C-alpha cells in the first residue's frame, strides 16, 4: 500500500502460498506419493491397476511405471516423480525405495520444522548424512574380481530384482535370460567393462506361456521375405546391409521424354532393366546370399535377386539395421559401388517363421553377437508387458554389477546398517545439524519396516530385531520376508547392486533437500479455462488423477 493505494504486482488469479503453509503443502504432497506406492515394496508387495481416461489398463507393481502413469498436478509431487524417473534411467531399479525414502525424509523434516529448526540446518544435516551414507555403503559392499565368471552371483542379483515382480513364478528363466543377454552385449576396453542394454532387442509375442520365452543370439525382424521364389531358410548366411533404394532413382524434377519410334520405348525399358540387373549382379559378386535393405526394393530387383537365390528383406528400421551390424559384423553400405566381400556379415542361420498372424525373420547363430534379441511370450498383453518391465529391471541390475563389480545384501540390511552407523555419526555433529542427521538415520528404517509390514509381520518387532543384530556388528543380516527370520542375506542369495542403493539414497536426499528449501509457491493461472481449472483443483489439492489418495484436503488450490 502506498498512500492508501494498493500496488498490484502479480497477475489476477495468481495464487501464492508462503512460509509454513508452502512447506506443509509440499511435504504432504510428497508423502501422498510415497504412501501411494508403499504397498508395492518387496517380494510380498501388492500390484496396482491403473486405468486411464480411454479405459486402457496397466497392472504392475513397478514403482517407476506406476508413477509415470499417474496424472499429477502438484509441483512437489512432480519433483518426487522426477526422482523415480532419474532412478529408473540411471540404474534401472530401486525406484520404490527412493520415493518411499524421500517421503519419509520429508515427513521427519516437517517435524523438525515444527520444532523451529530452520530448513537450512535440516538441509545441511541431510547433506552430511547422505555423504556419510555413501561412504558406509562403499565399505559394506562385497567386491567381485571377474564378474563375467561369477554367473551364479549375477543370477542371484537378477533374481532378487525379480522377487518383487508379479512374474516371479518365472524368475529363474527371466534371470537367466537377463544374465545371458548382458554377457552377450558386454564390451571390455582398457580393462573397463561396459554393457549397453540398448543392444538387447525385446520382442513381445502373445501366445504360449512365459516359460517359452527365449534368447536369440542374433536379431529377429518383424518382416517377411519379399518374393515367393526366394529361399525361406539359409545356412551360413553372408549378409549385405544396404541403406539405399534398389530401384531406379526417380528425378526430383518434372521431365518429359519424346519417343517417335516404338522400338525406342523398348530400348528405354531395357536400359532400366539393365541398370537394375547390374545392381543385383554387383551384390551377387560379393558372395552375399542375403540382402537386408533399409529402403525400398523394386519388383524387378526382387525378381533378379530371387533368380540368383538371394533372400531379400526391405524397409527395415534404422535401429534394427544398427543392431544387425553389431550382431553379424556387417557394415551398413550406402553406395553399392563400395560394397565388397569384407562388408558382409555372417550368421549361422537365417529363416522365416510365422508366429500367429505375424511374419518374422530370424537372423540367429551369430558367432560373437554384440546385439541379441529376447522374445517374451505370454498369454496376454498384460503378461508380456509386465514380463518386459521385469526383464529390463533384471538386465539393468546385472549391468550395474558387471560395471561396478560390487554388490550389497538385500532385505533391508543396508538401510539397517546405515541407521545404526548414521546414528553414531549424528552424535558427532553439533547443534541442529546433528538433529537432522538423526532424522536421516531414522528415515532409513522405513524400508525394513515397510518390507515387514507388506509381508504381514509386526514391523516394530522385526525392526527392533534387525537393528539389534546390526548393533552387534552383523552387518549383512536382513529380513527374510518369506519366513520372518532375521538372516544373513548373502547366504540365502538376496543381493543387490551397490549402484542401486547409492543412487536411491542420493536421489531421495536431494529431492527432500530441494523441497524443504521452498518457502514460497507462486502459481500463475492461464487466463483461459481458469474457472474449470480452479474447480478441478479444489478439494484434491491439485493432485488430479490420483483418486483414492485420501487425506489431501489440506492442499487446496495448489496446482
10 lies in some domain: no
Q: Cell 552375399, residue? A: 288
**What is the per-residue pLDDT for 277?**
87
558 lies in some domain: no
CA dihedral 201, 202, 204, 210 (to 10 degrees): 130
470 lies in some domain: yes
| Domain housing 379 | 146-217+371-404
Q: pLDDT per residue over 318-370, tens digit each?
A: 999 999 999 999 999 988 888 899 999 999 999 999 888 889 999 999 888 99
Q: Which three cell numbers stand for residue 115?
A: 520444532
325 lies in some domain: yes
Mean pLDDT calculated for residue range 378-400 = 90
**Distance, C-alpha 378 to centroid of its chain:** 20
- Residue at which a domain ends, from 368, 392, 424: 368
Q: Cell 525378381, residue? A: 303
224 and 335 fall within a common domain:
yes
Mean pLDDT calculated for residue range 460-472 = 92
pLDDT at residue 442 greater than cutoff 60: yes
Instruction: Please count the structural domains in the chain.
Output: 3
Q: Please give the Cα distance from 46 to 37 (Å, whole number).
A: 9
**What is the per-residue pLDDT for 520?**
66
- DSSP secondary structure, 4-28, as one string: TB----SPTT-EEEEHHHHHHHHHH
The answer to whether 244 touches 335, Cβ cutoff 8 Å, is: yes
- Residue at which a domain ends, from 340, 368, 396: 368
151 and 67 fall within a common domain:
no
274 lies in some domain: yes
**What is the per-residue pLDDT for 12?**
63
**What is the per-residue pLDDT for 499?**
92
352: CATH:
3.50.7.10
- Residue at which a domain ends, from 353, 380, 404: 404
The string over 119-139, giving b where at least 16 C-beta atoms fall within 10 Å of a residue's C-beta and e elsewhere, is bebbbbbbbbbbebbeebbee
361 and 377 fall within a common domain:
no
224 and 361 fall within a common domain:
yes
229 and 359 fall within a common domain:
yes
11 lies in some domain: no
**What is the per-residue pLDDT for 24?**
82
Q: Is the C-alpha dihedral spanning 426, 506, 19, 1 positive or negative?
A: positive
238 and 318 fall within a common domain:
yes
Q: pLDDT per residue over 495-532, tens digit each?
A: 999 999 999 999 999 989 988 887 766 666 655 444 44
> Alpha carbon of 466 to those of 322, 383, 411, 419, 470: distances in Å?
50, 36, 10, 11, 6
pLDDT at residue 227 greater than cutoff 80: yes
344 and 429 fall within a common domain:
no
The residues annotated with a catalytic role in the active site are 62, 95-96, 393
349 and 238 fall within a common domain:
yes
What is the pLDDT confidence band of residue 550, given thresholds at 50, 70 and 90? very low
Farthest-apart Cα atoms in the chain, separation: 102
121: CATH:
1.10.560.10
231 and 212 fall within a common domain:
no
pTM (2 d.p.): 0.81
36 and 139 fall within a common domain:
yes
534 lies in some domain: no
Mean pLDDT calculated for residue range 19-28 = 78
Q: Which three cell numbers stand for residue 363?
A: 537372423
158-172, 273-287, 424-438, 468-482 — which is least confidently predicted?
Answer: 158-172
343 and 417 fall within a common domain:
no
Mean model confidence pLDDT for the chain = 84
363 and 238 fall within a common domain:
yes
What is the pLDDT confidence band of residue 16, given thresholds at 50, 70 and 90? low
526 lies in some domain: no
Amino acid at each position: 500500500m502506498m498512500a492508501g493505494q494498493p500496488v498490484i504486482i502479480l497477475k489476477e488469479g495468481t495464487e501464492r502460498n508462503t512460509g509454513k503453509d508452502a512447506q506443509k503443502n509440499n511435504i504432504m504432497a510428497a508423502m501422498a506419493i510415497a504412501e501411494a506406492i508403499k504397498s508395492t515394496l518387496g517380494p510380498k508387495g501388492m500390484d496396482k491397476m491403473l486405468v486411464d481416461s480411454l479405459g486402457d489398463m496397466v497392472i504392475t507393481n513397478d514403482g517407476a511405471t506406476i508413477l509415470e502413469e499417474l496424472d499429477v498436478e502438484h509441483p512437489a509431487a512432480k519433483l518426487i516423480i522426477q526422482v523415480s524417473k532419474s532412478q529408473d534411467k540411471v540404474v534401472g531399479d530401486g525406484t520404490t525405495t527412493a520415493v518411499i525414502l524421500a517421503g519419509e525424509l520429508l515427513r521427519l523434516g516437517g517435524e523438525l520444522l515444527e520444532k523451529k529448526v530452520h530448513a537450512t540446518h535440516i538441509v545441511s544435516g541431510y547433506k552430511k548424512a547422505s555423504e556419510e551414507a555413501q561412504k558406509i555403503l562403499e565399505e559394506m559392499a562385497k567386491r567381485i574380481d571377474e564378474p563375467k565368471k561369477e554367473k551364479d552371483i549375477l543370477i542371484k542379483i537378477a533374481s532378487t530384482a525379480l522377487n518383487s515382480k508379479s512374474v516371479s513364478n518365472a524368475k529363474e528363466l527371466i534371470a537367466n535370460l537377463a544374465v545371458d543377454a548382458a554377457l552377450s552385449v558386454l564390451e571390455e576396453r582398457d580393462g573397463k567393462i561396459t554393457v549397453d542394454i540398448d543392444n538387447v532387442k525385446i520382442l513381445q509375442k502373445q501366445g504360449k506361456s512365459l516359460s517359452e520365452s527365449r534368447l536369440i543370439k542374433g536379431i529377429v525382424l518383424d518382416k517377411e521375405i519379399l518374393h515367393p521364389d526366394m529361399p525361406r531358410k539359409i545356412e551360413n548366411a553372408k549378409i549385405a546391409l544396404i541403406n539405399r533404394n534398389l530401384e531406379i532413382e526417380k528425378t526430383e524434377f518434372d521431365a518429359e521424354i519424346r519417343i517417335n519410334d516404338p522400338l525406342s520405348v523398348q530400348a528405354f525399358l531395357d536400359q532400366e532393366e539393365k541398370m537394375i540387373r547390374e545392381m543385383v549382379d554387383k551384390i551377387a559378386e560379393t558372395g552375399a546370399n542375403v540382402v537386408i535393405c533399409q529402403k525400398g526394393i523394386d519388383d524387378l530387383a526382387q525378381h533378379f535377386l530371387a533368380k540368383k537365390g538371394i533372400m531379400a528383406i526391405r524397409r527395415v528400421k534404422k535401429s534394427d539395421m544398427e543392431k544387425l551390424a553389431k550382431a553379424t559384423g556387417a557394415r551398413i553400405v550406402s553406395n553399392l559401388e563400395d560394397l565388397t566381400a569384407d562388408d558382409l556379415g555372417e550368421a549361422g542361420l537365417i529363416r522365416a517363421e510365422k508366429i500367429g498372424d505375424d511374419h518374422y525373420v530370424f537372423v540367429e547363430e551369430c558367432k560373437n553377437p554384440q546385439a541379441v534379441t529376447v522374445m517374451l511370450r505370454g498369454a496376454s498383453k498384460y503378461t508380456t508387458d509386465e514380463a518386459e518391465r521385469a526383464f529390463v529391471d533384471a538386465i539393468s541390475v546385472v549391468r550395474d554389477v558387471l560395471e561396478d563389480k560390487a554388490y550389497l545384501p538385500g532385505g533391508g540390511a543396508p538401510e539397517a546398517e546405515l541407521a545404526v552407523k548414521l546414528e553414531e555419526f549424528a552424535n558427532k555433529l553439533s547443534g541442529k545439524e546433528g538433529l537432522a542427521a538423526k532424522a536421516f538415520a531414522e528415515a532409513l528404517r522405513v524400508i525394513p519396516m515397510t518390507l515387514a509390514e507388506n509381508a504381514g509381520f509386526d514391523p516394530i518387532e522385526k525392526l527392533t530385531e534387525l537393528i539389534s543384530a546390526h548393533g552387534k556388528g552383523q552387518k549383512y543380516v536382513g529380513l527374510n520376508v518369506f519366513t520372518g527370520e532375521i538372516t544373513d542375506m548373502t547366504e540365502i542369495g538376496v543381493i543387490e547392486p551397490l549402484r542401486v542403493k547409492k543412487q536411491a539414497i542420493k536421489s531421495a536426499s536431494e529431492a527432500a533437500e530441494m523441497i524443504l528449501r521452498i518457502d514460497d509457491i507462486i502459481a500463475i493461472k492461464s487466463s483461459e479455462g481458469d474457472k474449470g481449472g480452479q474447480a478441478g483443483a479444489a478439494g484434491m489439492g491439485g493432485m488430479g488423477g490420483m483418486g483414492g489418495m485420501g487425506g489431501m484436503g489440506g492442499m487446496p488450490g495448489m496446482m
